[in-house]
Structures are given as C-alpha cells and as structure tokens.
Chains A and B, each alone.
Chain A
Amino acid sequence: MSKLLKWRTRTGEKRRIPKQHTKLTMNQKKAVLGVLFVTPWLLGFIFLFLIPLYQSFIYSLNTLTLGKGGFDTSYAGFSFYRELFTKHPTFNRTLVEAIMDIVISVPSITIFSLFVATLINQKFRGRVFARAIFFLPVLLAAPVLSLENSSQMTSIAASLTGATEGGGLAFTSFELKRMLLEAGVGSGIVTYITGSVDRIYEVISSSGVQILIFLAALQSISPSLYEAARIEGTTGYEAFWKITLPMISPIMLTNVVYTVIDSYNRNELSVMIKDTAFQSLNFSLSAAMAWVYFLIVSIILLITTGLISRKVFYYD
C-alpha cells in the first residue's frame, strides 16, 4: 500500500511540475525536512511544555487529592491564590525578597560582567589562564555547594575559619559606607553599593555566563572602528562610551534577560514552591505560587526589555 502511494506521488510530481521549477521543489523539500527536524522539539513543546503549563494553571484552581489509582480534582476557584496572599505565613515576604533580589542583583551582575569582560578582553600576559578561571563559576554549582542550611554548620564553619566562612573574603563595607556618605552620596545609592560589595562572591559566581556572552560580543566588534576613532583622537574612555557600549547594547538586553531568568535557581521562593508540593503535598498551592511567581517575573522582564530596547542600538 505504501509503495503504491509513494509511486503515485512521485509520478504525480513529475507530471505536474516541469523541470525548470526544481528550485521550488528544493525549497519545499527543505521545508518538509525542516518540519521533520523540528518535530521532536515540537512534540516536547506541546506535550511536555504547553499542556503541562495549562494543566498547572488548572491545578492551581482545583483541589488535588492523590489516591492510589491516580488523583482527583475538584474545582476551588481562586481560593488558593487568596490563601497565598492573605493566609500563608511567609509567602508575601519571600516573594518580596525574591523580587528585591532580582532588582538588586541584575544591575550589579550586568555591570560587573561587562567590566570583567572588557578587562579580560584586553591583551596581557596570562590572559588565557585568567579567562579559564573566570569561567570556572559557570561550572561549579552554587546551589548544591552552598547548602549550609543548618545553623549548626555555619557556626562550625565560623569557629573553624576564625571569623566567617569567607575567612579571607570577609570584606566589610563599613569603611566604604562611611566614606561614601561623607562624600555626600545619597543614602539609597550607598546602601545599594555596599550591598553589592557585600555580595561580591555571589555576584562573581553568578556572572559566569554573562561574562562569556559579553566577551563574545566584544570580540565581534570590528577593530577598524576603534582604529578610526583613535586616528580621530578619541581616548579609551570615550571609545568605550561611544563605540563599545552602543555596539554591545543588543547583547546587554540578552544578558539582562538571562540574569533575570538565572535568578530562578537562586532564590528562596523556588525552594518554597518545591517544599509546598513535596513536603506538605499541597500541589495546588504550589502551582498557584509558581504562577504568581511566573507572572511577576514576566512583568519584570517586560518592563526591563521595554526600558532597555529603547536605548538599544542596532548596527544594521
């Protein structure tokens, strides 16, 4: 049967399309193969992404009871969402903390990674070595390794290393704070800066991929631009603001989005979502939490992309 079908289409094609139009059939063939190549992903996208996404929203509106042979649902409306915001003891606080974490860490990670990328993009001895070290944090799992969740452990660590777990890293920003305040910088900015300085290890360890992306972007800028600018008499500082920054601004957008997404894995809220589902077995509440979180993160993403894409400069 299938042989017959094949034969028929083959002859059918021959009859209908004259030989001059082979380009069209090539494109058609490509399109068919394109669909074929995308199929595995598409199947996953529909069955392991879109449907679960829809279902998780449905679950957040229903009470789920697990039985032996499966689970039953009964409609509960938005009661779980109401419970989250009005009854749940820690949800509001954790959510605000998660948002604050995004708001604080995204700018500092972006700026820091841009700075480091320009630094290691320059030519100096031991550059390969320095780069190898800077990419190391990408590979070492911060979440797994920083599981010092028991207070006992941290106290042991403290007694062991002298003052703090960081030991040599214990860089207090107290002096810096006083200095900045005396210099007349606004207190909001000062707390932001000192906060970032205190989190320097976190910032460094979570900016590996961003450094990598920025570095690739910096290297894609044509050197002739800098050459021309230097002949015109630009300083390195001006070249950074007038050439480097506009040229990498599209990547800046990518990086900011990546940093926001990457923060999913770092915060307390994702731990809470998981614990609610698998320790208190309240699947619906967990789904509701995840949806609230998702909506808020997408709002943040929309705002940031909206703000940044206004400033983005596209070369072509």
Chain B
Amino acid sequence: MKVQTEVRAAAWKIKKSLQTISPLQRAKHWSWVIVRAILITGFCFVILYPLFFKLSVSFKDRMDVYDSTVLWIPKHFTIDTIRIAFNALNYPKTALNSLLIASVSTLLQLISCSLAAFAFARLRFKGSGLLFGGVIFTIIVPVQTLMVTTYLNYRYFDIFGLIELFTGQKGINLLDSYWPFILQSITGMGIKSGLFIFIFRQFFRGIPIELEEASYIDGCSVLQSFTRIMVPNAVPAMVTVILFSFVWQWNDNYYVSLFLTSTDVLSTKLPVMWASFSLNDPLYAYLVKNAGELLFMAPIIILYIFAQRYFVESVERSGLIG
C-alpha cells in the first residue's frame, strides 16, 4: 500500500515536470509541427496531383485547353470527353468483365489462401515448414519466369494426358475463357497469393491458441473452429486481402493479356483505346485518354472511399508483422 502511494506520487511528479515545458522546448515542438504539416501536405499533393489533373482535364472543353486563363476549373464544362471515352472503352461490357474476373478470383483466393494459411499456422504436419518455404519461394520467383509455360499450359490444357487419351487432341484450349483465372486462384497461385497466405498465417498465429482450444472443448470440429473462431477474429486481415486482391486483379495487365485475347477487359483495352483517335487529332486523343483513365480508376476509388476507414484501421492490426 505504501509503495503504491509512493509510486503514484512519483508518477504525479513526472507528469507535472512534463507539463511545465520550457519555451525553447515549446518552440522546438511547434517548429516540428509546422515542418511535419508542410511535409505531409507536400506528399499528399504529389500523390493527389495526377488524380486532380485527370479530373480537371476530363471535364474540359477543347477551348479550355488552349485558354491560358483556365488552370484547373474548366470554363466550358462538358462531359463529352467522358462520353467518348465511355463509348470507346465499351465501358459497361468491359467493366463488367473486369468486375467478374476480379471478384471471382478474389473470392476464390480468399478461400484457398485462408485455408492454407490456417493449416500452416495451426494444423502442423510433417513437412509443413518446408511447404511454407515453398510459399515464400512462389513470392520470390518473378512471374515472367513462368510466363511461357503458363501460356502453353493453358493453350494445350491437359491433366496427366487424360484429355489426349479421350479426344485424341493435344489438350484443350483454355485461353480466352475464365478458367485460367479460376484455376490460378483456387490453387493459390493467383496474383501475389503467396503474400496473402503470408498475411493470413501471421494473423492466425496472433490469435490466442486458448480460444481455439476452448472451441474444441466445447465440441467444435476443426473446420467449425476455423469458421467460427478464426475467421471472425481475422476480419482485419480479410479486409486487407480482399481489397488488395480485388484491386491488383482489377489493375492487372499481365495475366489478363496473357490469357485473354478476344475478351475485352478494362486494363487491356485502356492502353490501346486512344490509338484510334491520335490519327486525326492528337490533342483530343490525349483528353480522351485521361478521361478513360479516370473511368478506369473510378470504381476503385469509390470502393476505397467506402472501405478506407475500415482498411486503414485494419492495417494497424492486420498482422503483417511476424
């Protein structure tokens, strides 16, 4: 009891000594606050500048572009550029394709990666450490190394020569379908799946083992304990993975152009869409290009505005840390 009051008194003393700061220290503090504010606004500006630029350009009329008095806010507000980009991209259809691919592979990746990560974190078996090393290996190997074989694999898709046995042809062509994406993500080989397994594993390891044991004592099966204990506790990691997976798939240009040739997806259509305009009017092509990019980013930015608060908070507890 006596010790406690002594400690309390000491703490109070320290608190008081901290409250009475000398003017020099206060000046130091405020100068740092100002420097920090300048730095942060500067960086934010650098990040936001291209966005604002595209936003402003997309709504400008051609007159405004040559008008030196117009800097950011257009005088002749128009949505013609956006409409042209919208039509050139065939937006509803391509966006739907993009959305379909991104959401399906996100869902499948979420399932396969979380299950594998749960096994790596909690259901240890002989050689699981070695297999986790394999996960890290998949992160490290550049996708380009596998590019040719992946392409040929899906071009002449065959399981143990079974298809050749029955149809007589050398495999079936899975390109230009959604199958490559489905197969890649359900087997945890999609875009950065290794990273997602890593994130999930770290997070699952952070959940107290007592919770899991208690669920077993209460009669849960392993699968039940996964769905009822681990998954609800891992919501921050889930949000992070869903957002990353969706966004990376949406932005992805590599796999999409590898697997799809006739199906149009936003990320492959975007770089070529302005080419048809540049012949007659390069300036207009530039405007349309920016408008197209804005259309491309719009769904993600809208998604981010809704998920942002949740995401930023979740990152802090997302278990990216070992």
Contacts and interface: CB of A to CB of B under 8 A. Distances in A.
B216 interface: yes
B166 interface: no
B181 interface: no
Contact of B309 (A32, A122, A128, A153): A128
A301 interface: yes
B308 A277 contact: no
B39 interface: yes
B127 to A, nearest CB: 9
Interface residues of B, number: 99
Interface string A94-133: 0000000000000000000000100110101000101111
Interface stretch (A6-14, A44-52, A82-90): A44-52
A244 to B, nearest CB: 14
Contacts of B46: 169, 200-201, 204
A152 interface: yes
Nearest to B14: A231
B97 interface: no
B65 interface: yes
Contacts of B223: 33
B1 interface: no
Contacts, number: 260
A291 B312 contact: no
Interface stretch (B76-84, B85-93, B134-142): B134-142
A120 to B, nearest CB: 7
Given A40-B187, A220-B321, A70 B156 contact: yes
A55 B149 contact: yes
A52 B126 contact: no
Contacts of B49: 166-169
A144 B296 contact: yes
Interface of B: 14, 33, 36-37, 39-40, 43-51, 53, 65, 112-113, 115-116, 118-120, 122-126, 128, 131, 134-135, 138-153, 156, 169-171, 183-184, 186-189, 197, 216, 222-223, 243-244, 247, 250-254, 267, 270-271, 274, 278, 282-283, 285-286, 289, 293, 296-297, 300-301, 304, 308-309, 311-312, 315-322
Q: Which 9 A-B pairs have the closest CB atoms?
A: A44-B187, A34-B123, A141-B251, A52-B149, A31-B125, A37-B119, A41-B188, A70-B170, A41-B116
Given A141-B251, A167-B53, 14 more contacts: A40-B188, A45-B131, A59-B149, A122-B36, A147-B271, A168-B49, A200-B46, A201-B46, A251-B321, A287-B145, A290-B142, A293-B144, A293-B145, A298-B140
Interface of A: 26, 29-38, 40-45, 47-49, 51-53, 55-56, 59, 69-71, 116, 119-120, 122, 124, 128, 130-141, 143-145, 147, 150, 152-153, 156-157, 160-161, 166-169, 200-201, 204-205, 212-213, 215-217, 219-220, 231, 250-251, 254, 257, 261, 264-265, 270, 273-274, 277-278, 283, 286-287, 289-291, 293-294, 297-298, 301
